[in-house]
A and B are shown apart, each in its own frame.
Chain A
Amino acid sequence: MRRLFILPLILLALLVLGVVTALFLPLSPAIALRTLASPEIRFALRLSLTTSLAATAVSVVLGVPSGYVLARHSFPGKAVLDTFLDLPLVMTPLIAGVGLLFLFGESGLGGLLSRWGIRVLFTPLGAVAAQVFVAAPIVTRSSRAAFESLSPRYEWAGQTLGLAPGRVFFRVTLPMAGRGILSGTVLAWARAVGEFGGTLMVAGATRFHTETLPIAVYLNITSGEMEVALSAALILMAAGVAMVLLLKTMGARPAAAIKENLP
């Protein structure tokens, strides 16, 4: 039985190893170092960092309060809203991109924003919008789970101590749910950094303008510049590994402190 179950595990590991090896085998260290320092890769790295951090910040601002409301309050249509908010997680990124393209087009919200001089389509702001669309539900979901794991009686205790609900949220609830929210935020950031389909539709693929790392991979593969494409992929892979390690470290002891607090 054990052997039978170990075999699929080995096959899976070999598959991942095979993909990673196939990706980076053609890339010699000397070429990798040279291309990593190239202006195009440096631009893509900078743009990816800026847009993904902005998207993550917006996702936290939108997702944490949303997660709190879903965790703590009951209202008509909650189940429908909850399902609706999960849609971006299961939607094909390309389709989401088409939706965002129409939403931010001249006949949609984009027309209104352009009156204030804000252009979303085919700008780095478009990349942020596409990333928020996929990252915010992750923050919402993880925040909701983190808040649900906390007894609302901690908030009651805070209120009987004279703390107004806002103070209770920032001094009691948020710090206690912090670890879960932070894990979700890291995951959302990882998703934002790797976002491609939506970004391609909304921001376009223009070198040195809307060229995030995934777009750099796409542009250079289509133009036959494999070394540059693989260098961009190398950075994405390294970022992915770092985030997985970070998540594993953070997930080590979630609710132990809360359990320990009981008499």
Chain B
Amino acid sequence: MTAVAVERLHNHALSGIDMEVEDGECLALMGPSGAGKSTLLHAIAGLLPYRGAIFFDGRPVDRLPPHERGVGMVFQDLFLFPHLSVRSNLTIAMARLSLGKRAERDRSGDLLSRFGLQGLAGRRPDELSGGEKQRVALARAVATSPRLLLLDEPLSSLDAATAKALRREIRCFQQESRITTILVTHSREEAAELGDRIGVMEEGKLVSG
């Protein structure tokens, strides 16, 4: 179980957040712009300083730097590394697993086929379509088998048809892998389809869920 209790953030963007996410559950967070949804994800990932306590499986992670928290994150603007190929964008994340070159290649191959990216391994991010970039970002975020997956409006920049197709794929992947997920979205449709539970944030507070 992931428990999040953020008393407040240094700039008061969040206050009095108290929530729990069950193992394997997908919590969809909704709310108006500026409600603090993305900020909360950044705090959980350890990217922003906060006052409070965050527990993964009963263990506090507040003192852990972002690279030791075991969190996978898809950012709203993706931030794929433009100087690396699709495959290297995945294997760069595997470096800390010390798998060895062959196992890294096998694992990246599995992820490429899992997310429908076969044949794109050697391409650079600027040679991909919006949907393909989104898939790479998702594959990269789960490449290290994180214990918590954070999705920050992952489909907001896609056209309706691509977003619908990807939504189905994400749901399918989430149900198969049972990876604990927190999703931030503006779309009710997305929240209803992907979330096991929906939480609503307003002015830095969790008002329901």
Chain A residues proximal to chain B, CB less than 8 Å: 151, 153-154, 156-165, 167-168, 171-172, 175-176, 178, 256-258, 260-263
B96 touches A263 (CB 8 A): no
- Whether A163 contacts B67 in the complex (CB less than 8 A), given A156-B75, A157-B73, A257-B124, comes out as yes
Q: Is B66 interfacial (CB-CB < 8 Å)?
A: yes
- Nearest Cβ in chain A — how far from B35, in angstroms? 20
Report whether B47 and A159 are in contact in the complex, using a CB–CB cutoff of 8 Å: yes
Contact A261 B80 (CB under 8 A): yes
**Least distance between B94 CB and chain A CB atoms (Å):** 9
Complex Cα gap A168–B47 (Å): 14
**Known contacts A161-B72, A263-B78, then 19 further A-B pairs from the complex at CB < 8 Å, ordered by chain A residue:** A153-B77, A153-B79, A156-B45, A156-B47, A157-B75, A159-B47, A161-B93, A161-B140, A162-B68, A162-B93, A163-B67, A164-B67, A168-B67, A172-B92, A176-B83, A257-B126, A261-B79, A261-B133, A263-B134
Interface of A is mostly: helix
Tell me, yes or no, whether B144 is within 8 Å of chain A by CB. yes
Q: Out of B45, B65, B69, B126, which one reaches A261, CB within 8 Å?
A: B126
CB neighbours of A159 from chain B (8 A): 46-47, 65-67
Q: How far is the CA of A261 from the CA of B79 in the complex (A)?
A: 7
How far, in Å, is A261 (CB) from chain B's closest CB? 5
| B71 at interface by CB-CB < 8 Å | yes
Q: Which residues of A contact B95 (CB under 8 A)?
A: 162-163, 167
Residues of A within 8 A of B65 (CB): 159, 164-165
| Chain A positions within 8 Å of B158 at CB level | 263
Is B143 interfacial (CB 8 A cutoff)? Answer: yes
**Bound Cα distance from A165 to B96, whole angstroms:** 13
Shortest beta-carbon distance from A45 to chain B in Å: 36
Does residue B81 face the partner (Cβ distance < 8 Å to A)?
Answer: yes
Subset of 8 A-B contacts with CB under 8 Å: A156-B75, A157-B75, A160-B73, A165-B65, A175-B83, A260-B126, A261-B126, A263-B158
Determine if A176 and B157 form an interchain contact, defined as CB atoms under 8 angstroms apart: no
The answer to whether A160 and B72 have CB atoms under 8 Å apart is yes
Q: Which residue of A lies closest to B90 (CB)?
A: A161
Q: Do residues A263 and B133 form an inter-chain contact, with CB atoms below 8 A?
A: yes
Which residues on A sit within 8 Å (CB–CB) of B93? 161-163
Indicate whether B130 reaches chain A with its CB closer than 8 angstroms: yes
A149 CB, nearest partner CB in chain B, Å = 13
The listed residue with most A CB atoms (<10 A of its CB), out of B46, B73, B83, is B83
Known A160-B66, A162-B144, A261-B125; contact A176-B96, beta-carbon cutoff 8 A? no
Are A262 and B78 within 8 A (Cβ)?
yes
The answer to whether B49 has its CB under 8 Å from any CB of chain A is: no
> In whole angstroms, how far apart are the Cα atoms of A140 and B81 in the complex?
24
When distances are taken between beta carbons in the complex, the residues of chain B under 8 Å from A167 are 95
